[in-house]
């Protein structure tokens, strides 16, 4: 069974249909003092999945704590978390004395609740595998750039893929190789959340459709900086594609003002830019997990 909360009903039901499992909504009540009361189905199958994408994560982490521990008392022996966006993965070291390494804290918190985690493009810098942040759990990490690239080639055949910084290179390269597209990777210097400088290396841009591809965007300043360079280099059209649409309310307007025509995203986070549904690949990932206690586990 797949459990979900009402604000993610549409994405959860798409996943349940793709995985061919029943789905049930966790009832949620908020008391006047802000505390939450959750109500799960009275009986759960031995294998239960919980869908919760962790944008705006703080309250959702409390929901996971209550829901996961309750699910264990209701019959769930193997509990999977499907978190298309996995929060708190960027802070992976203490840059100043006393600073919390939230990746390690949240990773171990989730590892104590779930037997397996399925996610898409967690923002990992200094570790290679999600299990290093969440030890002891099975994990399946999907690449959002691949289904995004399928959409890109339908919309902009032969596009030049552009990575806005070195961190994007892994996703841009995989997308380009999937469809035999040309690509280029920019360099970025971030001086603040809204102060970003980008440099475009020599590339044949003039007369071409360019699509900036990245794993996430929030303020949009990195995408905007890359778009300015592409426009100056003579690109005939500039679009953007991101896995995680963490956009602030002002971001899309700014991107349009900088000459970005279309912004496409996956539905890992619900947003008006969603153009690619992840349910088929998430369902395939769930099928690849071997529940604890079964042959081959």
pLDDT in tens, 23-49: 999 999 999 999 999 999 999 999 999
Query: How does DSSP classify residue 128?
Result: S
Rounded to whole angstroms, the Cα distance separating 244 from 85 reads 7
The CATH classification of domain 145-276, taken from the options 3.40.50.150, 3.40.50.2020, 3.30.360.10, 3.30.300.10: 3.40.50.2020
Domain ranges of the chain: 2-142+278-288, 145-276
**What band does 294 get if pLDDT is binned at 50, 70 and 90?**
very low
Which position has the token pair 């009540």?
A: 29
pLDDT tens per residue, range 205-260:
999 999 999 999 999 998 999 999 999 999 999 999 999 999 999 999 999 999 99
Q: What are phi and psi of 243, to 5 degrees?
A: -70, -50
Structure tokens at 191: 């001086």
Cβ neighbors of 199 (< 8 A, separation 6 or more) are 186, 187, 188, 229
What is the reported pLDDT for 293? 47
Distances (CA, A) of 248 to 119, 254, 255: 22, 10, 11
Top-level class of domain 2-142+278-288:
alpha beta
Please say if the pLDDT value at position 192 is more than 70: no
Which position has the token pair 């206690």?
A: 293
- The overall pTM is greater than 0.85: yes
Please say if the pLDDT value at position 196 is more than 80: no
pLDDT tens per residue, range 67-124:
999 999 999 999 999 999 999 998 878 889 999 999 999 999 999 999 999 999 998 7
pLDDT tens per residue, range 167-179:
889 899 999 999 9
Percent of the chain with pLDDT over 70: 94
Rounded to whole angstroms, the Cα distance separating 125 from 152 reads 26
Rounded to whole angstroms, the Cα distance separating 69 from 24 reads 17
Cβ pair 114, 92 in contact under 8 A: no
Average pLDDT of the chain is 92
Same fold, 2-142+278-288 and 145-276: yes
What is the reported pLDDT for 197? 67
What is the reported pLDDT for 290? 86
Please say if the pLDDT value at position 201 is more than 70: no
**DSSP code per residue over 70-105:** HHHHTT-SEEEEEESS-TT-S--S-SSTT---HHHH
Exposure string over 238-250, b if 16+ CB within 10 A, otherwise e: bbbbbbbbbbeee
What is the reported pLDDT for 194? 56
Cβ pair 75, 46 in contact under 8 A: yes
Q: What are phi and psi of 215, to 5 degrees?
A: -80, -30
């Amino acid at each position: 069974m797949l459990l979900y909360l009402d604000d993610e009903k549409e994405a959860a039901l798409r996943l349940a249909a793709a995985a061919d499992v029943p789905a049930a909504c966790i009832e949620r009540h908020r008391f006047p003092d802000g505390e939450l009361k959750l109500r799960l189905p009275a009986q759960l199958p031995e294998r239960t999945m919980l869908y919760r994408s962790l944008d705006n994560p703080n309250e959702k982490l409390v929901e996971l704590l209550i829901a996961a521990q309750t699910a264990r008392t209701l019959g769930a022996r193997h509990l999977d978390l499907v978190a298309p966006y996995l929060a708190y993965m960027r802070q992976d070291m203490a840059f100043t004395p006393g600073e919390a390494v939230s990746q390690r804290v949240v990773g171990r918190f989730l590892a104590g609740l779930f037997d397996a985690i399925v996610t898409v493009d967690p923002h990992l810098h200094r570790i290679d595998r999600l299990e290093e942040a969440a030890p002891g759990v099975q994990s399946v990490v999907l690449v959002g750039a691949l289904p995004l690239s399928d959409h890109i080639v339908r919309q902009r055949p032969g596009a030049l893929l552009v990575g806005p910084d070195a961190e994007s290179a892994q996703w841009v390269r995989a997308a380009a190789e999937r469809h035999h597209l040309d690509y280029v990777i920019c360099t970025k210097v971030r001086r603040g959340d809204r102060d970003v400088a980008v440099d475009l290396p020599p590339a044949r841009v003039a007369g071409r459709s360019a699509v900036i591809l990245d794993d996430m965007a929030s303020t949009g300043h990195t995408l905007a900086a890359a778009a300015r360079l592409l426009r100056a280099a003579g690109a005939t059209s500039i679009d953007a594609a991101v896995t995680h649409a963490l956009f602030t309310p002002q971001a899309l307007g700014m991107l349009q003002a900088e000459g970005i025509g279309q912004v496409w995203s996956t539905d890992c986070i619900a947003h008006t830019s969603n153009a690619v549904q992840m349910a088929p690949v998430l369902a395939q990932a769930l099928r690849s997990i071997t529940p604890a206690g079964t042959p081959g586990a």
